[in-house]
Amino acid sequence: MNAELFTIGRLSREAACNVQTIRYYEQIGLLPAPLRSSGNQRLYDESWTRRLRFIRHARDLGFELDNVRVLLDLADDPSKSCEAVDEVAGGQLAQVEQRIRDLQALKRELRRMLKLCQGGTVADCRIIETLGNHDLCIADTHARVDASARR
């Protein structure tokens, strides 16, 4: 087995993940601690690149780190049933769909507010007025947006 070793900078480029994030993942146990050189620098091989790409890709798809952890555990045991993977991914999809719904409600309300604005001064601004009085909103159109969708 030809195990070429490289330092963190190259791993960073190859997995498109910045250096401190790699160290952070190691710290929280998402990446195992790698070998160290005589000068104490981390030494990685191909297998780290693969694992880190997996993590980044999952993150890009919106999976939380806890779910990434679950997915990694599953990926590490190929004999396991695929069902659990399906469940995590399905849950993620459901969350994404919910966030989209929430944001669409916000969009509608913001659009409506903006349309009401006729220029002039703040005194007659319907946007400010609407913000000050939720009753002026389309009923319950954005009653409860969960915090994670808000940002």
Partner DNA sequence: CCTAATATCTACAGTAACTGTAGGTTCAAG
Partner DNA sequence: CTTGAACCTACAGTTACTGTAGATATTAGG
Residues near DNA (CB under 7 A): 7-10, 12, 18-21, 23-24, 37-42, 59, 64-66, 147, 151
- Beta-strand relationship, 42-43 and 35-36: antiparallel
Residue 143 DSSP one-character state: S
Tell me whether residue 19 or residue 85 sits nearer to its own copies (CB atom).
85
Tell me which residues touch its own copies (CB under 8 A).
Answer: 50, 53-54, 57-62, 64, 71, 74-75, 77-83, 85-86, 89-90, 92-93, 96-97, 99-100, 103-104, 106-107, 109-111, 113-114, 117-125, 127-128, 130-134, 137, 142, 144-145, 148, 150-151
Tokens of 126: 């319907």
What is the C-alpha to C-alpha distance for residues 110 and 147, in angstroms, rounded to an integer? 18
Cβ atoms 37, 71 nearer than 8 A: no
Q: Please state the closest distance from residue 39 (CB atom) to its own copies, in A.
A: 32
Cβ atoms 113, 126 nearer than 8 A: yes
Tell me whether residue 93 or residue 116 sits nearer to DNA (CB atom).
93
Q: Which does 19 bind (CB under 5 to 8 A by kind): DNA, its own copies, none?
A: DNA
Q: Which does 71 bind (CB under 5 to 8 A by kind): DNA, its own copies, none?
A: its own copies
Q: Please state the closest distance from residue 8 (CB atom) to DNA, in A.
A: 4
Tokens of 148: 């994670």
Cβ atoms 9, 19 nearer than 8 A: yes
What is the C-alpha to C-alpha distance for residues 126 and 140, in angstroms, rounded to an integer? 19
Tell me whether residue 20 or residue 104 sits nearer to DNA (CB atom).
20
Strand partners, 35: 43
Q: Please state the closest distance from residue 81 (CB atom) to DNA, in A.
A: 25
Q: Is 119 helix (H, G, I), strand (E, B) or coil?
A: coil
